[in-house]
Structure 1
Amino acid sequence: MVAVAVNDNVFLAGPARRLQRELFAVESSVVSDTAEAIDGAAVLRAYGAVRPMRDKIDLGAARSEARGVAAETWSTAAGPVVELAGALGIAIVFALAWSADGAVDLAATGTVLVALVLMYRPLHGLARAVFGWSSGLASLDRLDELLGLPAEPLEKVTMRTDPVASLRVEDLCFDYDSQPVLRNVGASFHPGELVAITGPSGAGKSTLLGVLAGVLPPATGRMVIDGAPATRALLIEATAWMPQNPTLFRDTILRNVAFGADHPERARVVEVCRRVHAHDFIAERPGGYDAVLQEGGTDLSMGQRQRITLARALYWGAPVMLLDEPTSALDDEQERNVIGVCRAHADLGGLVIVATHREDFLRHADRVLELRDGTLIEWERQTADVLLH
């Protein structure tokens, strides 16, 4: 009987461990996706990718529930299996104890029955322990893998072919915790312009770009694109936003560049990556564009992450590019390339607005606006030339 019970435990332990590993893997994926959705909420909004991320998390949660039910079913079955083995053992003992002439050796039978009763609880505990071991081993396996690793609008972004757009803002105000950051900001931006916005740290440059991208709702004011009120759908279509801290997701490089696309255009992805000098280091990675990045893109340098997020901004062909410190982690040569990319976009009729402290960007800008005390002040070109030389 002991052999039967132990064999049953071992038989159940294999599937239990497999189910526990699958459960931990799915749960880990759901947690990671949820964390990415929280950290990258602004990018999801800017590129109309809220629905795909929500669907991905919902699917993971459903898979987690299914694996959890299966694992619990196997675990719950352990007790009854041992009880069945015990009952079978008792039946076998009685059968063996029955003599050929029909007499029963009561002393021997009683001794064996007492032994079976005493063995029942340890065997039952052994069954539970086996499942505990399976769960623990699955947890350790997953831990080893991890330690070894270095209210929402649902509009969807679409490819834009017309690069021309103008942008006008009127009386924009934005507060953080009742503290005014933007105060009645008004400005007009025209097709073909490369505009630099500068100012001290904490002045609100990133906030202004976030408002222009539609990821931060202004307290008051309005925005107009090509003469039309800037609705949420229009902002997603007309603007491409690159935040100061590059946001990458646990997905392939291809899908990170073509973020929000159901079916990424590989040729387009390669094209924009070549333009920002990202193609070479991507091609050198095992898997190339199909390589899956670690959470947050932590397996890339900051400069590489910046170039991939800039490629993302170029991918959809949005006429208005909003770039927040796009060259802060790049060397002089790479910065000149980014300036050239921005200049080329403007020369095609696009509008580029860059928040930056870098002097090269300020020199090459058609206009320089300084954000000071919550308002925009335009530098005279002559003043800018004097300050930057």
Structure 2
Amino acid sequence: MKPSAGPGPYRRGVRFLRRRWPVVLRLVLWSVLETGQTFLTGYALAHALDDGFLDGDEAVGLGWLGAAALGVLIAAYGTGQVYRAVADLVEPMRDSLVRQVVGRGLREADGAAVSRLTQQVEIARDTFAGLVMVSRSFVFTAAGALIGLFSLDPLLLLVVAPPLVAGIVLFVATLRPLARRQEEFLVADEELAGQLGVVCPGLRDVAAAGAEQGVAEDLDRGVASEYAAAGALARWGILRTVALATGGQLPLVLLLATGPWLLDNGVTPGALVGALAYVTQALLPALHNLVHGLGTSGSRLAIVLRRLTWDPPETAEGSQVSQVSQVPEASQGESPAPALHLSSLTFAYGPHAEPVLNDLGLTLARGEHLAVVGPSGIGKSTMAGIVAGLLEPDTGDVRVDGLPVRGAGAVGRRVLIPQEAYVFTGTLRDNLSYLRADPVPEREMLAAAEAIGLAPLVERLGGLDAEAAPDELSAGERQLIALTRAYLSYAPLAILDEATCHLDPVAESRAERAFAARPGGTLVVIAHRISSARRADRVLVMDGAHALCGRHDELLARSPLYRDLNGAGEWGSHPSLALRDPYRVDPVPRPGLPGDRGHVVAHRAVGQMEAVRDLGDRRAAGGE
């Protein structure tokens, strides 16, 4: 949606001030009282010198200085009243913005409404108050100083006024271009931050998809865009400095340079000192505050008001991180190469560390289902990362469909689903089709959701075009979305690295069976429960020094570790007493129970475990 047609922020501001003319009038009247101090800054000093101290009459000189001091006290009272008037002007603007933001959030379910309400509205209020104070101060300070210069001697006004007007004109001419450059910089900065917000949490997915180069190019373009915007903003900022030097510093230089000529043409020494006081104590500080306040805060206020009161422009296509295609190259026939081949694989985290994997070899045929089991930290996820191309082995070779795992076209040959599933803000359809370059037919998408077990969530959210907010989804729901996304990809090799750890056993079984049944698909599961191993065609048992691969019944006879793992029932990254089980039961080894091996007992609150005989069957545990 394009920005709605309507007046710009400056016209809106003028209209707002016109509707509140009584407050504006009160602000002007109290500001006039402040102007008296500015007028007396140079006028009283000039007469104190000419009519008092230089004329030998100290009483007159002190009298004029006393008048200047009295002007300061009166101006201080006026300043207090000015702040009251500014508050009466600013708070209605804030209330109006709050009403617009709340109304827009309710009408459009605007997800950014909270940020606008809590941060951007306050920025607008504070910035508007600062602009009113700075602009008002400059106008009345300049008026008081120029009137004072004319009262002392018109020649002084001829020296000071031209460079002051030139500086103001130059500054006003840069306001609109400077505001545009500042908005371009903010937009570029926000787009880059948005890209980083998408990429950083999904670095593992980016590496698994082999999309490092494409993502890096997108980020490079974002950095270059922000750099160019910052450069343009800095160049226009130089003109702002020139305007300040012209309007504030040049009058001082001209007064000093033309001082002898002014004295020769009737300007008194006191008047010249008074003129210097006007420039240094009134005009220069006021112009400095105007340039820096209006030049920066004014642009920021215009941008914030535009975002608060207008609909945001539609994000251009391609502004986000480009989606990664997982479509493999078209094959002319079934390749005789195995789906996955690991040869003498060795990997260590550092040159002096013990190898996590040591001379590991493995071959998987097409369509085979492998479960990888072992104690936590033994190297299962490391192997998955190497197979997915995230890590490079120290020695050995990894091939998928007979081709290097990190070579050309490797992106389309394997997909990794990690434990922490990645879901981005957008529709379910966008999330599920992320790994497909071609449009995914809705029937195929719904069938995949049904196969994985995502269909209830799709129905609950309101269909495939419903928004999927990651922070509103449970960990299990995010895993189901990531699993369905991978299921829809064309990658023949799927690697589930504890990708179902947040699902209950029934949902986990359904998802794994769906992947195993994919036509031509090969599945590697880093198992979280022993049931995953029992469903697999083969099981790889990793124990550090050795690794065994075989069928479930074979390994029960050959591997003591596998027998122990079968008794444990569940392992992985969650501790045995993590109270996350949806059935509110946990495996708890207790002294006195036969075998002490993971008996399941019910629990109430944390730390309040029931005794075994309190289970539903009311029988003492006689065995596993």
TM-score (norm: length of structure 2):
0.49
- Matched with 1:214 is 389
1:371 deviates by 0.9
Cα deviation digits, residues 70-117 of structure 1 (max 9, x gap): 433443333444556669999xxxxxxxxxxxxx98569858844652
- Matched with 1:315 is 488
- Matched with 1:98 is none
1:339 aligns with 2:502: no
Please show how residues 48-63 of structure 1 align to structure 2 within 5 Å.
Answer: 48-63=210-225
User: Aligned partners of 2:178 and 2:521: how far apart in 1?
Assistant: 58
User: Aligned partners of 1:203 and 1:373: how far apart in 2?
Assistant: 6
1:186 aligns with 2:361: yes
- Matched with 1:364 is 535
Structure 1 or 2: larger strand share? 1
1:246 deviates by 2.2
Supply the RMSD in Å over aligned alpha carbons.
Answer: 4.3
CA contact (8 A) 1:86 1:116 kept: no
Please show how residues 260-279 of structure 1 align to structure 2 within 5 Å.
Answer: 264-265=439-440, 267=442, 269=445, 271-278=447-454
- Matched with 1:148 is none
User: Aligned partners of 1:245 and 1:170: how far apart in 2?
Assistant: 29
1:302 aligns with 2:471: no
User: Aligned partners of 1:358 and 1:333: how far apart in 2?
Assistant: 12
- Matched with 2:287 is 124
CA contact (8 A) 1:48 1:156 kept: no
User: Aligned partners of 2:185 and 2:455: how far apart in 1?
Assistant: 37
Give 1:44's match in structure 2, choosing from 196, 202, 206: 206
User: Aligned partners of 2:468 and 2:509: how far apart in 1?
Assistant: 29
Cα deviation digits, residues 25-60 of structure 1 (max 9, x gap): 432442453465455333223223223312321221
Percentage of identical aligned residues: 26
SS of equivalent to 1:201: coil
Cα deviation digits, residues 271-303 of structure 1 (max 9, x gap): 53443333553565599547475xxx4453221
Deviates more, 1:63-72 or 1:202-211: 63-72
Higher RCO, 1 or 2 (CA under 8 Å, sep at least 6)? 1
- Matched with 1:72 is 234
SS of equivalent to 1:340: helix
1:246 aligns with 2:421: yes
1:23 deviates by 2.5
CA contact (8 A) 1:159 1:316 kept: no
Give 1:236's match in structure 2, choosing from 393, 411, 416: 411
TM-score (norm: length of structure 1):
0.74
1:195 deviates by 1.4
CA contact (8 A) 2:374 2:380 kept: yes
User: Aligned partners of 1:46 and 1:306: how far apart in 2?
Assistant: 16
User: Aligned partners of 1:286 and 1:89: how far apart in 2?
Assistant: 69
- AA partner of residue 223 (structure 1): V
Cα deviation digits, residues 181-231 of structure 1 (max 9, x gap): 111111221223221111110010011111112221111122344455656
CA contact (8 A) 2:178 2:295 kept: yes
Are the structure 2 counterparts of residues 257 and 233 from structure 1 closer, same or farther at C-alpha, using a change threshold of 3 Å? farther
1:281 aligns with 2:457: yes
User: Aligned partners of 1:384 and 1:166: how far apart in 2?
Assistant: 23
Are the structure 2 counterparts of residues 361 and 63 from structure 1 closer, same or farther at C-alpha, using a change threshold of 3 Å? same
Are the structure 2 counterparts of residues 20 and 220 from structure 1 closer, same or farther at C-alpha, using a change threshold of 3 Å? same
Deviates more, 1:359-368 or 1:208-217: 359-368
User: Aligned partners of 2:177 and 2:427: how far apart in 1?
Assistant: 31
Name which one, 1 or 2, has greater alpha-carbon Rg. 2
User: Aligned partners of 1:39 and 1:63: how far apart in 2?
Assistant: 23
1:320 deviates by 1.3
Are the structure 2 counterparts of residues 7 and 226 from structure 1 closer, same or farther at C-alpha, using a change threshold of 3 Å? closer
Structure 1 runs not aligned, ≥5 long: 91-103, 145-154
Give 2:372's match in structure 1, choosing from 184, 188, 197: 197
- How many residues are paired up? 359
CA contact (8 A) 1:17 1:137 kept: no
User: Aligned partners of 1:106 and 1:287: how far apart in 2?
Assistant: 84
Cα deviation digits, residues 146-165 of structure 1 (max 9, x gap): xxxxxxxxx96424788986
User: Aligned partners of 1:289 and 1:211: how far apart in 2?
Assistant: 35
4+ residue segments displaced more than 6 Å: 3-15, 86-90, 135-141, 160-164
Are the structure 2 counterparts of residues 271 and 258 from structure 1 closer, same or farther at C-alpha, using a change threshold of 3 Å? same
1:169 aligns with 2:342: yes
Are the structure 2 counterparts of residues 34 and 188 from structure 1 closer, same or farther at C-alpha, using a change threshold of 3 Å? same
CA contact (8 A) 1:20 1:134 kept: no
- Matched with 2:503 is 330
SS of equivalent to 2:397: strand
User: Aligned partners of 1:71 and 1:287: how far apart in 2?
Assistant: 45
CA contact (8 A) 2:435 2:489 kept: no
- AA partner of residue 215 (structure 1): L
1:169 deviates by 1.7
User: Aligned partners of 2:276 and 2:405: how far apart in 1?
Assistant: 83
- AA partner of residue 76 (structure 1): I
1:130 deviates by 3.4
User: Aligned partners of 1:21 and 1:136: how far apart in 2?
Assistant: 8
1:327 deviates by 1.0
- AA partner of residue 389 (structure 2): G
